[in-house]
A = this chain, B = another copy of it.
Amino acid sequence: MKHGARWIGATALAGGLLAGAGAVGGGAQDAAPIRGFFAGRVAEERALEQRFRAIPEAARAEKSLRRLTSEPHMAGTEASHRVAEWLREQYASFGFDAAIVSYSAWMPQPREVQLELVAPEHKALATQEEPIASDKDTLTKGAVVGFNAYSPSADVTAAVVYVNYGMVEDYRQLDAMGVSVEGKIAIARYGRCYRGIKTKLAEEHKAAGLIIYSDPQDDGYAAGDVYPDGPWRPMSAIQRGSVEYTEIYPGDPLTPGVAATPDARRLAPADAADVAHIPTMPINAQDADAILRSLGGPHVPKGWQGALPFTYHVGAGAARVHMKLEMDYQQREIYDVIARLAGADDDEWVVMGNHHDAWVYGAADPNSGTAVMLETAQALGELARGGWRPRRTIVMCHWDGEEFGLIGSTEWVEANRAELQAKAVAYINTDVGVNGPNFNAGATPSLKELVREAAREVQDPRGGRSVYDTWRERASHAKDEQSGTARADARVENTGEVALAALGAGSDFCPFFDHAGIASLDMGFGGDYGVYHSLYDDFNWMKKFGDPTFEYHAALARVIGTIALRLDEADVLPFDYAAYAAEIAAAAQSLAERAAQKGGDATSLEPVTKEAAQLSAAAWRARDALAEGRGAALAPEKQKQMNRALASVEQALLSPEGLAGRPWFKHTIYAPGSYAGYAAGVMPGVSEALDRRDSATLAREAAALAAALTRAAARLDEIAQMAQP
């Protein structure tokens, strides 16, 4: 760090709070500025990044993935423990200080899963995934049968009602048709929302049980060729997955808010608010064919017909199914791997994470991300061996139990919350690192521009252009969201830049961001991917369809590493709070309009609108203060203090009480929607109270939100003060 270096003024284009190299173009130009770096430090950073980006290797990522997916390794099994041990060894060999941290969580495994059609004719269902001769991994006996984690055990026989995607509007349509699921088994198709929401809504509508199936329209033959001829879901493939009500709280159901250590105080299972009360199981399309074909009742509404070859009816009618689930709930050990590369300043941490547990082999989900993390770590290790010392400590985490409900990350964040809030600069997540060629990212608004800038520095494997330019080109031809994945497809903002999604839920950034207020990022390369949570998400699938050359794995390691190095080495952390405040102001405006439309009490929202405006003003004051270059003249201790303050603005947006009905969720601006699941709810407390027309809660949530905005504005004003020499 060089004192007296000139601080690079903010450019109009980048629009950032801090100085911007927004328009570097496609390549690394030695002279071009980098957001957050003093002018005299840019060449050094650029050289470091270039050395870094030369190290990740596609062939090595392929080897890692082959190793990681050598056996099914579901959380709570010894296989998952073996993966954790291997990862720990890898990090140790890279020169990291690596350890396994384990927790004991209340987790189910299926002992018996039975489903049969008992009328109008008898037919045994719950068929499992068929082996494919050309892919020997599919011959395994080790894959867990299709089940939904956190379903209760049950034995129920009932008539069946088809509920489309099983979302709020679907039940509204059924009501209009006079069809009820009460006492019936609901059958919903996968897609459009988190599966746990489907269970929650079926439970709220008094269904006796829920079957969730994969319709070929959404990710099977109607989307494209099915595995092994193409990347889409074959008729026998089952989407496993958790139905934990993670929108209430994720992690171990028995220890909300505290780490699941051996001596933690635990709830009785019956008191866990995030566990379903109705049996839920996933089935494949061929079983669904047998059930749906036999439903009577009215013809489905417009948009409910899927791609199975008959006319869909909502039921009920003569069809009856018998569902028997016996779940083996136990305290089970999970194994997080936490690896540190100590920085010159160990009081500031750059945290990266990916989960390692998989439903079966998990080649795309999650081990493509694991292989990418290993390439990143290998490269950072090599730099360190070459004499580089990180400015800030780098913490690389591999979570266990993510598939059951973000358990490994949640428990670790709960265990280390105070320290993380004091030290973590940001959290960079990757889950499905690669399943195709399309880069996409979600982020806290303050770090969106950082992602764009890093993507400009890395060449896309498909051509001579950067990852950013390829991403932007695709975004300019935006399409619908790909079903089955949480990530919205790319689109372009008014500024002409690619829009990054808000962070919803569905991966391990959730405890960092929603619970602890650590600024977070999530990214990966997506594509045609129909084998999600099935046996077929294996190495051979990746080699044939996801990333045959593994060049996208290497490219993602370069993007993530570039982001990490910038966060690690920045003189002034590159948070853009003017952009964040602008998104908050727009959200406040749109809420106020919705409130007006609903004819509700719009006055409750006035403090929000007002404080959002104050926040914008404060963000611009801080930006101006820093843009004038005063930051560079500060003493190191003062600079460190300012960086600490910059990283902590996100925490100012937490509400100490949390959201109404789900106090674990502290963030006032973002949370998973209570009835959407993956997609982010914006200003969720206020927004949902408005939807429910609950004016008391609305007033309370609006006050909490306004207070959060006030705190964030105050923090920004402190930063502007600190920038004074």
- Residues of A near any B CB (own CB < 8 A): 216, 221-226, 229-230, 232, 299, 305, 307-311
List residues of chain B with CB within 8 A of the CB of A308.
309
Question: Are B310 and A221 in contact, CB atoms less than 8 angstroms apart?
Answer: yes
**With A230-B299, A299-B230: A221-B307 Cβ-Cβ less than 8 Å:** no
List residues of chain B with CB within 8 A of the CB of A305.
222
List residues of chain B with CB within 8 A of the CB of A299.
224-225, 230
How distant is A489 from chain B, measured CB to nearest CB, in Å? 13
Query: What separation, in Å, do the CA atoms of A232 and B305 have in the docked complex?
Result: 14
Query: What separation, in Å, do the CA atoms of A380 and B141 have in the docked complex?
Result: 81
**Residue of A222, A225, A232, A305 ringed by the most chain B CB atoms within 10 A:** A222
List residues of chain B with CB within 8 A of the CB of A216.
309
Query: What separation, in Å, do the CA atoms of A232 and B311 have in the docked complex?
Result: 10
List residues of chain B with CB within 8 A of the CB of A221.
309-311
Closest B residue to A299 by beta carbon equals: B224
Among B224, B229, B309, the residue within 8 A (CB) of A307 is B309
- Can you report 12 residue pairs joining A to B where beta carbons are below 8 Å apart? A216-B309, A221-B309, A221-B310, A221-B311, A222-B305, A222-B311, A223-B311, A224-B299, A225-B311, A230-B311, A307-B307, A308-B309
List residues of chain B with CB within 8 A of the CB of A226.
311
List residues of chain B with CB within 8 A of the CB of A229.
311
Query: How many copies of the shown chain assemble into the complex?
Result: 2
How distant is A348 from chain B, measured CB to nearest CB, in Å? 47
Query: What separation, in Å, do the CA atoms of A309 and B289 have in the docked complex?
Result: 11
How distant is A317 from chain B, measured CB to nearest CB, in Å? 13
How distant is A648 from chain B, measured CB to nearest CB, in Å? 46
List residues of chain B with CB within 8 A of the CB of A309.
216, 221, 307-309
List residues of chain B with CB within 8 A of the CB of A307.
307, 309
Query: What separation, in Å, do the CA atoms of A544 and B647 have in the docked complex?
Result: 70
List residues of chain B with CB within 8 A of the CB of A311.
221-226, 229-230, 232
Query: What separation, in Å, do the CA atoms of A229 and B311 have in the docked complex?
Result: 10
List residues of chain B with CB within 8 A of the CB of A225.
299, 311
Query: What separation, in Å, do the CA atoms of A481 and B255 have in the docked complex?
Result: 56
List residues of chain B with CB within 8 A of the CB of A222.
305, 311
List residues of chain B with CB within 8 A of the CB of A230.
299, 311
List residues of chain B with CB within 8 A of the CB of A223.
311
Query: What separation, in Å, do the CA atoms of A310 and B226 have in the docked complex?
Result: 9
> A222-B305, A225-B311, A308-B309 are known contacts; what are 16 more A-B pairs with Cβ within 8 Å?
A216-B309, A221-B309, A221-B310, A221-B311, A222-B311, A223-B311, A224-B299, A224-B311, A225-B299, A226-B311, A229-B311, A230-B299, A230-B311, A307-B307, A307-B309, A309-B309
How distant is A284 from chain B, measured CB to nearest CB, in Å? 14
Query: What separation, in Å, do the CA atoms of A305 and B229 have in the docked complex?
Result: 17
Query: What separation, in Å, do the CA atoms of A16 and B583 have in the docked complex?
Result: 52
How distant is A527 from chain B, measured CB to nearest CB, in Å? 14
How distant is A483 from chain B, measured CB to nearest CB, in Å? 14
Query: What separation, in Å, do the CA atoms of A585 and B226 have in the docked complex?
Result: 53
Query: What separation, in Å, do the CA atoms of A309 and B286 have in the docked complex?
Result: 11
How distant is A326 from chain B, measured CB to nearest CB, in Å? 33
How distant is A7 from chain B, measured CB to nearest CB, in Å? 49
**Residue of A216, A299, A308 ringed by the most chain B CB atoms within 10 A:** A299
Closest B residue to A222 by beta carbon equals: B305
Query: What separation, in Å, do the CA atoms of A224 and B304 have in the docked complex?
Result: 11
Closest B residue to A232 by beta carbon equals: B311
Query: What separation, in Å, do the CA atoms of A310 and B221 have in the docked complex?
Result: 5
Query: What separation, in Å, do the CA atoms of A310 and B217 have in the docked complex?
Result: 10
List residues of chain B with CB within 8 A of the CB of A224.
299, 311
How distant is A531 from chain B, measured CB to nearest CB, in Å? 15
List residues of chain B with CB within 8 A of the CB of A310.
221
How distant is A315 from chain B, measured CB to nearest CB, in Å? 14
**Residue of A229, A299, A305, A309 ringed by the most chain B CB atoms within 10 A:** A309
How distant is A350 from chain B, measured CB to nearest CB, in Å? 41
Query: What separation, in Å, do the CA atoms of A305 and B218 have in the docked complex?
Result: 12
For the complex of A and B, the 6 pairs showing the least CB-CB separation, nearest first, are: A309-B309, A221-B311, A225-B311, A224-B299, A222-B305, A221-B310
